[in-house]
Amino acid sequence: MKRILFPLFFGLAQIGLLAQDKPKLVVGIVVDQMRQEYLYRFEKKYGEGGFKRLMSQGFMMTNAHYNYVPTITAAGHSSVYTGTTPAIHGIIGNDWWDKNLKRSVNCVEDPKQKPVGVTVGNGDVSPWRLLSTTITDELKLFTQKKSKVIGISIKDRGAVLPAGHLADAAYWLDNASGKFISSTYYFSKLPAWVEKFNSSNRSEFYLNKDWNTLLPITEYTESNPDDSPYEKVLKGKDKAVFPYELSKLNKTNGGFDLMAHSAFGDDLLTEFAMAALQGEDLGKGSQTDFFTISFSSPDLVGHNMGPNAVEVEDVYLRLDKNIETLLVKLDEQVGKDNYLVFLTADHAVADVPQSFMDSKIPAGYLLSGKKFKDELNAFLQKEFPGRKMIDTVCNQQVFFNPDSFAGDPKGAGIDLLVATELVANYIQAKEGVAQVFTKAMIKQGNYSEGGIKGKVIRGYNFKRSGDITFELEPGWIDWNSTRGTTHGSSYTYDTHVPMLFYGKGIRKGSSAVHHDITDLAPTISVLLKIKFPSGCTGNPITEIVDRK
C-alpha cells in the first residue's frame, strides 16, 4: 500500500507545485499613447507605489519598440496580445476601407451584435476581425476555459481586442449614457456588479468636476508653459489653460466624451477596475485568470495637447496614483506574490509639428483623406479621362477602384500598372513624403527585412491594405490643424514604448537590449507555460524567462 500511495502523493505534490509556480492572476496594462521617456521625464514627481514600484521592483525593457507601421491604437493592442503584426493578425488600423463592402469599417465593428447595457450605443462590436489568437485566448484554451478573462477600457477596441475571442466579458464606456456597456457577443445582460457600478453615477460625478492640476502649476517644469499656441482650445474657453470646468464645458464638448478627454477618464476606469476585480473574484479561482486594462485618456488628451503640455504631465501624475491604487488592491485581493503585471503602450506620439517648425526643426503637415483622394483622381484624369480611379486614401494608403479597370479585361492589367506608377511617382514628389511602396514592392520584400520597408511589410495585410502605401519624413504628420498631434509613423518617437514586468516570477532589473513589442506575448506564454498565440512571430525575452 505504501508503494502505491507514495507515488500518488508525490504526483499530487508535483501538481500542487506546478500550480503554485503560476500566478493566480495576470494583469495586462496598456497605456494609450505613452512614450518611454515619460517614465524618466516625470519620475521625480511620481510616488513610490506606482510607476516607480514597477520600475524598481520589477524588470524594465528600456529599448522596446513597435516593429511595423502604422503605429496606432487597434493595431498596437492587437500586436501586444497576439505577438505578431498587422500583416498576420489583420488589424491594420482603427478603421480601414473594406474592398468588398466598398466602405470604411471599424476594427471591432460587428453588425451581428447588439449593445448590452443600453438600448442604443456602440455595442455592435466583437473581436471577429482579429485573425490570430491572443495570449488570453491561449490561456482559456490551456485551462479548458476554466480561466476567467475580463477586458476593460474607455474605448471599445481597447477592451475587446486584448480580451480576445474567448473572453468572458469586455466592457467599455458609452459616451452617450456614461455607462460601461458590453455586447451580445459575450452575454445578453450585464452582471449585477456592473449594473451597481453604473447606478452609482460615477461618470456623472467626474463630468461635473473641475480639472485642475494635481500639484501647484508652477511645479510643472517638465512641460511647456500652460498657455501654449500648440494646444487645442475647447469650445467655451479662450485658451487651453487650467482649470477646466467640465460642468460648464461638457454640453458644448461632447458630454461624457469630454470627461474621457480629461484625466478623470483614468480615475473612472480605475474605479471600474476595482469593481471588476471584486465583482468577478479575479485571482480567486483554481486556474490563472487574466485581466486586461487599457487606459485611454492619455491618448485623448495627448492628441489635443501634444506631449509637452502641462495637461499631459498632469494626466501621467494622476495615472501614477491610479497604478498605485490598482497595485494595492491586487496586494489585498490576490496577494503580493500571487499576481503578475505587465505594462506597455499601444504606441507613442509625435511632437506638434508647428512647435518644431517654429524652432527651425524639420517638420510639417500633409493632409490626406478625401482632399488627397480628390487630388489624385483629378491628376489621373489626364491619362484616364472620365474614370474615378481612386476609392479612398486612408492610413496613408491609396485604394484603387477596381471597377475603373474592369471595362477592358485585356488592358486592365496594363492600366493598373500605369496608374500605380503614376500615383506612386506623384506622391513621392510631394513635400514631406519619405518613401512610397506599391503592392508589388511589398510582395518582393521579406517579413524580417529591416528599415522602413520592413516595418511597412510587417504592417501590410494583402487582403485588407491598400494598393500603395507611403511614409512621411520625420516630424511630419497627417493632420488638419497646427494644434495637437498624432502618431502612426515608423520613427522612434512613435515606436519607443515602455515594457515593464512585475510580480510573480519576475526578478528585479532592466535591459537596454532592443526588443520588439511582439516579444511580449510569447514571454507571457512561457511564464504561464501555455501555447504561443496562433500567429505569433515574436520571441520570448530571455532576460525575463531565462532563470540561469
Q: Which residues are catalytic?
A: 73
Cα(222)–Cα(315) distance, rounded to whole angstroms? 13
Asked if residue 365 lies in contact with residue 476, where contact means CB atoms within 8 angstroms, the answer is: yes
Of 151, 167, 132, the closest CA to residue 531 belongs to: 132
Q: Which residue has the cell 511595423?
A: 68
Question: Which among 85, 212, 74 has a CA at the least distance from the CA of 153?
Answer: 74
Q: Compute the chain's Rg from CA coordinates.
A: 24
Chain centre distance of CA 39 = 18
| Residues facing 420 on adjacent strands | none
d(CA 11, CA 28): 32
Reading phi first (left if > 0) and then psi (alpha if -120 to 50, else beta), residue 117 is in left
Handedness of CA 479, 78, 169, 96 (dihedral sign): positive
Residue type at 145?
A: K
- Extract the C-alpha cell encoding 249: 464645458
Amino acid making up residue 192: A
> How far is C-alpha 353 from the geometric centre of its chain's CA atoms?
22
Backbone angles phi, psi at 490, to 5 degrees: -95, 0
13 in Cβ contact with 6 (< 8 Å): no
Contacts of 323 (CB under 8 A, 6+ apart): 29, 49, 50, 51, 53, 54, 343
Identify residue 440 by its one-letter amino acid code.
Answer: A
Task: Give me the amino acid identity at 170.
Answer: A
Query: Which residues lie across from 152 on neighbouring strands?
Result: 171, 293
User: Tell me, what amino acid is at 78?
Assistant: S
* DSSP at 208: T
Distance CA 378, CA 131 (A): 37
Cα distance between residue 238 and residue 354, in whole Å: 20
**Is the distance from CB of 59 to CB of 340 less than 8 angstroms?**
no
Is residue 523 left, alpha or beta, with left meaning phi > 0 and alpha meaning psi from -120 to 50? alpha
* Residue that is written with C-alpha cell 494635481 in the block: 214
